[in-house]
Amino acid sequence: LFSYRDVNLWCRERRAGAKAKAALAGKKANGGAAQRTVSYPDNLTYRDLYYFLFAPTLCYELNFPRSPR
């Protein structure tokens, strides 16, 4: 949970210094995985927190690479 807190703290500090730009929707990553890019503070949801807790990862990122369902 420390990385979840730290990433959101860094985003909050960056946003306080300058307005965040809108994230691009529909960005394609390796393997053709197309997901909407999440930006702070839209990531502060219970769904996002639970995904981080139960996903097999050690460090939190705003946008985890995901394959299409």
Please state the pTM of the whole predicted model: 0.46
| CA dist 9 → 2, 6, 13, 26 (Å) | 10, 5, 6, 26
pLDDT at 27: 46
- How deeply is 60 buried, as exposed, middle or buried, from its count of CB atoms within 10 A (0-12, 13-18, 19+)? buried
Residue 46: pLDDT over 60: yes
Q: Which residue do the tokens 């502060």 mark?
A: 44
- How deeply is 43 buried, as exposed, middle or buried, from its count of CB atoms within 10 A (0-12, 13-18, 19+)? buried
Residue 7: pLDDT over 60: yes
